[in-house]
Amino acid sequence: MKNIAVLLGDGVAGEILDSAIKVLNKTAQVYDLKFNYNYAPIGGRAYDELGVPLPEKTIETCLKSDAVLLGAVGDWKYDNLAPELRPERALLGIRKKLNLFANLRPVKVFDELLFSSPLKPEIAQDVDVMIVRELTGDVYFGEPKGIIKKTTLDGREIKVGFNNMIYDEDEIRRIAHIAFKSAQKRKNRVCCVDKANVLDVSRLFREITTEVSKEYENVELSFMYVDNCAMQLVLNPKQFDVILTGNIFGDILSDEASTICGSLGMLPSASLSDGKTPFMYEPIHGSAPDLAGKNVVNPIATILSAAMMLYYSFNEKSACDSIYRAVKDVLKEGYRTRDIFQKGNELCTTNKITDLIIEKIK
Ligand code: IPM
Ligand code: MG
């Protein structure tokens, strides 16, 4: 029996989690697995219920579980809350509490969605990139940080905001190992993306990554500046196998890369720790409050996140593959939610596409 903590966030979270859980249950039947779900609130929902976005009980539920499935957080209605009460803070908090330093964001274009990509089909076809984003360091967590007052030379008092882009070598080393190991299961290439022409922290990132690469002789290491990478991702995304990068660059590049697949609604993610705490799985998209309750959101990113859980947390490769295959089959037959809808397709609700995917799991 595997215990899965289900962190229920905001907006469309309930709908996409329901879909993923239905798919997991079908997979459990077919592959003779047993899942038990422990629900806990997070984000705005937790704030409404308990006054804080990341309640202690939610953290405890995660720590007691074998894996964590999270449905997006955030809603405009919380925009005016103090920073520490905002839903996004819960996401950063849970990543830190569970020590989820490695965020894997696979960007794989389904042939069936080539025409939903804003890139020319010949550029988008066969793109298969794994973004390995460091997740518990960088400007996201660096100290000192804040907004303070300062006096200018001409005597005016003005505000100044700052965050610290900081990595120590242990943090770089452990994420680099994840990137190289991941490349060994793929095409044996790692591209380290940074801003080493300007930033000291990036120079250290390169130095340590180079050192770690010596342990992986069959993996080819290259370097690219992040501005160039942003361009290369749309010019020639096929050149990449594994992209290794820090927290903020990875955040930005993964949103950009996701559009290659046709929709943000297609991209799953896995966040890994050193193994002492459970891994967490979530779609890379947000909570889309404007779509909530309408039964229109694309559940595939969350369904594929559940598939990643089967692979990374439970070592159930066949079950994971069967979900990917089912999604592909459903797309092949022309069924689409509205974010990936093209003329000639059959438009589906969230529930409908979920049911179709479930039917195909075998
Ligand atoms: C992501 C999101 C989060 C991040 C936000 C919601 C805090 O954009 O997971 O990519 O910046 O990490
Ligand atoms: Mg992001």
Secondary structure (DSSP) of 204-246: HHHHHHHHHHTT-TTSEEEEEEHHHHHHHHHH-GGG-SEEEE-
CA 331-267-351 angle, 5° bins: 50
Chosen domain end from 243, 261, 279: 261
| Total domains present in the chain | 2
Residues annotated as catalytic (active site), given as ranges: 140, 195, 227, 251, 255
Alpha carbons 20 and 302: distance in angstroms, whole number: 6
Query: What is the predicted pLDDT for the residue at 80?
Result: 94
CA of 100 to the centre of ligand 1 (A): 13
Question: Based on the domain organization, do 226 and 271 belong to the same domain?
Answer: no
Start-to-end CA distance of the chain, whole Å, equals: 20
Cβ–Cβ < 8 Å for 223, 196: yes
Quick one: average pLDDT of 206-221?
Answer: 98
Distance from the alpha carbon of residue 262 to the mean position of ligand 2, in angstroms: 17
- 5 with 104, same domain: the answer is yes
Two structure tokens written together for 359? 């039917």
Residue 150 lies in a domain: no
Nearest CA residue ID for atom 12, ligand 1: 251
| pLDDT value at residue 129 | 98
> What is the number of other CB atoms lying within 10 angstroms of the CB of residue 192?
27
Q: Which of 206, 230, 261 is the last residue of a domain?
A: 261
Domain that includes residue 257, residue range: 118-133+168-261
178: domain CATH number is 3.40.1010
pLDDT value at residue 24: 98
Whether residue 250 sits in one domain with residue 123: yes
- Band (84; pLDDT cuts 50, 70, 90): very high
**Residue 163, in any domain of the structure:** no
The answer to whether residue 176 sits within a structural domain is yes
How far apart CA 85 and CA 355 sit, in angstroms, is: 37
pLDDT tens-digit profile of 19-29? 999 999 999 99
Tell me whether residue 255 is in a domain. Answer: yes
CA of 141 to the centre of ligand 2 (A): 15
Q: Can you tell me the distance from the alpha carbon of 20 to that of 69, in angstroms, rounded to the nearest whole number?
A: 9
Is position 162 within any domain?
no
Is 241 found in the same domain as 124? yes
Kind of pairing, strands 279-281 and 270-272?
antiparallel
Q: Are residues 231 and 311 in the same domain?
A: no
Q: How confident is the model at residue 194 (pLDDT cuts 50, 70, 90)?
A: very high
Q: In this structure, what CATH number is given to the domain that contains residue 295?
A: 3.40.718.10
pLDDT reported for residue 319? 98
Ligand 1, atom 4: nearest CA belongs to which residue?
A: 251
Regarding whether 250 and 350 lie in a shared domain, the answer is no
Q: Give residue 220 CA to ligand 1 midpoint distance, Å.
A: 29
Percentage of the chain with pLDDT > 70? 100
Same domain assignment for residues 4 and 99:
yes
- Is 201 in the same domain as 180? yes
Rounded to two decimals, the pTM is 0.95
251 CB near ligand 1 (under 6 Å): yes
317-354 pLDDT tens trace: 999 999 999 999 999 999 999 999 999 999 999 999 99
Which residue's CA is the nearest one to ligand 1's atom 11? Answer: 251
Q: Is the CB of 91 under 6 A from ligand 1?
A: yes
What is the secondary structure of 80-133 as a DSSP string?
A: TS-GGGSHHHHHHHHHHHTT--EEEEEEE--GGGGGGSSS-HHHHTT-EEEEEE
Two structure tokens written together for 20: 């993923």
Confidence of residue 234 (pLDDT cuts 50, 70, 90): very high
Phi/psi class of residue 146: alpha, beta or left (left: φ > 0; alpha: ψ in -120 to 50)? left
Quick count: other Cβ atoms within 10 Å of Cβ 111? 12
Q: 16 and 88 share a domain? A: yes
Beta bridge partners of 280: 68, 271
CB 258 within 8 A of CB 107: yes
Over residues 38-70, the pLDDT tens digits come to 999 999 999 999 999 999 999 999 999 999 999
Last residue within a domain, chosen from 261, 295, 316: 261
Instruction: Provide the 8-state DSSP code for 190.
Output: E
CA angle 108, 112, 113 (to 5 degrees): 65
- For residue 139, tell me if it sits in a domain: no
Q: Are 6 and 100 members of one domain?
A: yes
Q: Span 179-197, mean pLDDT?
A: 98
Q: Tell me, yes or no, whether 209 and 286 share the same domain.
A: no
Could you tell me if 256 and 343 lie in one domain?
Answer: no
Reading the block at residue 79, the tokens are 């925009």
In a domain, 140, yes or no: no
Whole-angstrom Cα distance, residue 27 to residue 32?
8
Residue closest via CA to ligand 1's atom 6 equals: 88
pLDDT of residue 102: 98
167 — pLDDT class (breaks 50, 70, 90): very high
What is the 8-class DSSP label of residue 294? Answer: S
**Ligand 1 neighbourhood includes 90 CB (under 6 angstroms):** no
**Binning pLDDT at 50, 70 and 90, where does residue 190 land?**
very high
Pocket test for ligand 1, best of 86, 251, 285 (most atoms within 8 A of CB): 251
Q: Residue 290 has which token pair?
A: 């404007």
Structural domain includes residue 5: yes
